[in-house]
Amino acid sequence: MTLFWFLQQLSVPLSQCWSKSELRNMASSSVSFWILLITVCSTDGFRHYTTDVCDFNSTELKDIEYISSYYYNKKEFIRFSSSLGEYVGYTEFGVKNAEAWNKDQAELSAMRAQKETYCQHNIGNWYSNVLSKSVKPTIRLYSTTPPSGRHPSMLVCSVYNFYPKTIKVSWFRDGKEVTSDVTSTEEMENGNWYYQIHSHLEYTPRSGEKISCVVEHASLKEPLRTDWDPSMPESERNKIAIGASGLVLGLVLSLAGFIYYKRKARGRTLVPTTN
């Protein structure tokens, strides 16, 4: 499960101002906090703040992404991501700053190091604390007939009895994530502190394909994958099982009747008749 952790928040009155260089220096030092909000003055009350996020699926370095974002008036205008290793601008102002900051190799080296020195350094404690307060989900994967639509088949991935509420359910077909023809319910309360969710995939069956339902949750150290057996729909398997049971029962009753008849025939006495 992808986890986002935030520890501390700082803010300052709008009446206090900093120059751009001062703000830049303060923002660069914010890696000691999980989230740091910096407010700068403006006559219309707009706010500037930065966030530092560790996005992780496990304590392994390869499963961690460090993201540092800069916002103005709730709009992100520049971001550093450890997966890219550089800044990316999302507005005209952000693009100009990204071009300038990406030329500073010392700055990039320091930011790239945060994935290990900041995130991995703390994630061990964060992760263990979450896992101790979570419950693993149970999964049921089955097929049903779609009520309508362009496809003849539908798979349902039902996830039950998990805690906390946040969860991600994904579909994969032959190793590639499927995003079209997928619908999911919201996380629903069971009434006992646990939750459930149901995801539906409409699809056209293909020979030799592999379809999987993948669940990511805070209680899992790695995503939980459940593969679908396309050899026969569950409804058809149930029909065959019922039919086979009926056939066996019929054979047993027939055999019992035949044995009874043979025994009765042996006990009969033949009486000769005269003309």
Residue 271: pLDDT band by 50, 70, 90 thresholds? low
The residue among 258 and 11 whose pLDDT is bigger is 258
| pLDDT given for residue 274 in this prediction | 59
| pLDDT given for residue 4 in this prediction | 37
CATH number attached to the domain at 3-131: 3.10.320.10
What's the pLDDT tens digit per position in 115-161?
999 898 888 787 777 777 899 999 999 998 887 767 788 999 999 99
Q: Residue 34 and residue 119: Cα distance in Å, rounded?
A: 9
Look up residue 49 and give its two tokens.
Answer: 């703040």
**Which residue shows structure tokens 């751009």?**
20
* Domain spans of the chain, in order of start: 3-131, 138-227
Per-residue pLDDT, averaged over 78-92, amounts to 95
What's the pLDDT tens digit per position in 153-195?
899 999 999 999 999 999 999 999 998 999 999 999 998 889 9
| pTM attached to this predicted model | 0.46
Q: Residue 114 and residue 59: Cα distance in Å, rounded?
A: 14
| pLDDT given for residue 207 in this prediction | 82
**Which residue shows structure tokens 């190793």?**
175
Q: Residue 232 and residue 226: Cα distance in Å, rounded?
A: 16
Contact 188, 163 (CB under 8 A): no
**138-227 homologous superfamily:** Immunoglobulins (2.60.40.10)
| pLDDT given for residue 36 in this prediction | 43
Strand 176-178: give its sheet, edge to edge: 176-178, 167-173, 211-217, 224-227
What's the Rg (C-alpha) of the chain?
A: 32
